[in-house]
Amino acid sequence: MKGGLKVPRISLILIGFVCATVITLAYVKSPFLSSWAPSQDRVFQISPDYKVKDEEVLRERNRLGKSEESVNFEPTISNSSTKGSSTKDKVTEELTNTEIEGSAGIPPSFAQKGYLKGALEEKSSSREQENEVAGPVNSADSPIKNLTSASKDHGCNFAKGRWVTDDSRPLYSGFGCKQWLSSMWACRLTQRMDFEYEKLRWRPRDCEMEEFTGANFLKRMENKTLAFIGDSLGRQQFQSLMCMITGGEDRPDVLDVGREYGLVKARGAKRPDGWAYRFPSTQTTILYYWSASLCNLTPINASNPATDYAMHLDRPPAFLSRFLPRFDVLVLNTGHHWNRGKLNANRWVMHVGGVPNTNRKIADIAGAKNFTIHSIINWVNSELPKYPGLKVFYRSISPRHFFNGDWNTGGTCDNTTPLAGGKEVLQDESSDSTAARAVKGTAVKLLDITAVSELRDEGHISRYSIKATPGMQDCLHWCLPGVPDTWNEILFAQL
Ligand SMILES: *[C@@H]1O[C@H](CO)[C@@H](O)[C@H](O)[C@H]1NC(C)=O
Ligand SMILES: *[C@@H]1O[C@H](CO)[C@@H](O)[C@H](O)[C@H]1NC(C)=O
Ligand SMILES: *[C@@H]1O[C@H](CO)[C@@H](O)[C@H](O)[C@H]1NC(C)=O
Ligand SMILES: *[C@@H]1O[C@H](CO)[C@@H](O)[C@H](O)[C@H]1NC(C)=O
Ligand SMILES: *[C@@H]1O[C@H](CO)[C@@H](O)[C@H](O)[C@H]1NC(C)=O
């Protein structure tokens, strides 16, 4: 389906208007953005203690009102023989709280700020050239001329293109999908009244993107397993995919197969480390496993309940190495937990080669994160020859949009006008240069959603939540239905 309802004349007027706006915006915004985005150095000087305390207060505050996760998923008896999981559960549970309860307590990502600064500056400068591209989307001035073959061999860049309005969206109702969609991310259930953000569709410039349907997805994934492993943004993508496949309808036939993957709620835990569901008609399994750092965590002193955890930057999460043989599609992500405050709060101690890290180059957060992303991608790439059918994607970072402050200093994202800052991505390279460099030369594909999502500052939870915490906004997670649906469309197009 093509969303183009506009007659050419209106398009031209629109294009002219957009160009003028964009040029003005770019001019006005550039100096603002540079002063807003703190320099990396400054960011790392913020006292972690101060942050952690705030986060804990929030966590405590939220704990009272947040039972929906345990309501959705029946508790199951823990099987503590799952290797390494009984000790890890405790820490994971804590992390999960920190992150997921962040419907108000948004994990700060200071490591990312510096990176975003660059990305934003790059974007505003590329906006100035926007008039040159306002032509037809499938114009032939790209290096890839053969659209048919491009979409088939996936050689095209899905991240380059523009947002268009499409009244056939969203693909499921935010009032529905109660089986999988966390109520904290269902903005339809909040006080939010503007829903224009649900009506947008991503149209890549150089490739056809096949229309997503649940039936087509299941057919292509017959007898196959798709695994998302990552942080809460990965969990959003998982929930989004479940809703997209089912159209948000109740599906009592879909089986909870978490037990097959050891994804059961440990005694005393609030929720399992992940979830796995199977569509019996096609024997398609979709699962999500919570690993915020994408590295293996092991207790340093297993008999001490208050132990520190070795965070093995060069080792994959145990869950991943254990279950990789069962996966046909794997989508990895990390990013928003890489800051000193979170590492300290979780008592994660960086290890390399099984011993505490002494390499100064990877001792800082940005270095450790880069090292870990390279490690996990190289590891999984080295496993690929054993699993010829396996497709692995590394999903680039999901952008945050805190304006005029950060998550804990009154930062906001309450713009409700979609695409106020532009609707097109023109650059060829990813805005997530760390991820792009890491996949280079490997068979791991980049699921590049950074620049695409960067244009969608109006699509976050913002100040709306079931239990609004005054003064806090969630400009990290996205409303569902919403932007992560597009990530899944881009993923589907490459399966
Ligand atoms: C726990 O898991 C192990 C290995 O997967 C299995 O051998 C054992 O029977 C399970 N125990 C229970 C109580 O489910
Ligand atoms: C485009 O791709 C099709 C299918 O792969 C091929 O048959 C055709 O020759 C290609 N055309 C050009 C101009 O490369
Ligand atoms: C899926 O598995 C079933 C049962 O083993 C088999 O009959 C069917 O052909 C498989 N489908 C595909 C597409 O592999
Ligand atoms: C491990 O923790 C236990 C309990 O706190 C403590 O008794 C023991 O000395 C610790 N072992 C080491 C090697 O630190
Ligand atoms: C990221 O890590 C890789 C692999 O360890 C290294 O080659 C590269 O120089 C690092 N990049 C930065 C910017 O630190």
Q: pLDDT tens digits for 77-98?
A: 233 333 333 333 333 333 333 3
Average of per-residue pLDDT across 251-268: 95
Which is the closest atom of ligand 2 to the Cα of 148? 2
Average of per-residue pLDDT across 158-172: 96
Kindly tell me if the per-residue pLDDT of 109 is higher than 50.
no
**Range with lowest mean pLDDT among 142-146, 158-162, 330-334, 396-400:** 142-146
| C-beta separation of 355 from 316 below 8 A | no
pLDDT band at 205 (very low <50, low <70, confident <90, very high): very high
- Eight-state DSSP code of residue 412: B
Distance (angstroms) between ligand 5 centre and the Cα of 67 equals 41
Q: Which two tokens stand for residue 19?
A: 């160009």
| Residue-averaged pLDDT of the chain | 77
| C-beta separation of 395 from 158 below 8 A | no
Distance (angstroms) between ligand 1 centre and the Cα of 79 equals 6
Average of per-residue pLDDT across 4-12: 56
305 lines ligand 4 (CB under 6 A): no
Average of per-residue pLDDT across 139-163: 61
**Range with lowest mean pLDDT among 83-87, 242-246, 287-291:** 83-87
Ligand closest in space to the Cα of 222: 3
Cα separation, 495 vs 269, whole angstroms: 35
Checking DSSP bridges between strand 445-447 and strand 391-395, what pairing results, if any?
parallel
Select from 347, 368, 346 the least CA-distant residue to 357.
368
Distance (angstroms) between ligand 2 centre and the Cα of 146 equals 6
140 lines ligand 2 (CB under 6 A): no
- What's residue 14's pLDDT? 62
For 39-64, the pLDDT digits (tens) are 333 333 333 333 333 333 334 334 33
304 lines ligand 4 (CB under 6 A): yes
Cα separation, 399 vs 296, whole angstroms: 25
- What's residue 370's pLDDT? 97
**Range with lowest mean pLDDT among 24-33, 202-211, 282-291, 369-378:** 24-33
Ligand closest in space to the Cα of 328: 3
**Range with lowest mean pLDDT among 79-93, 228-242, 257-271:** 79-93
- What's residue 472's pLDDT? 81
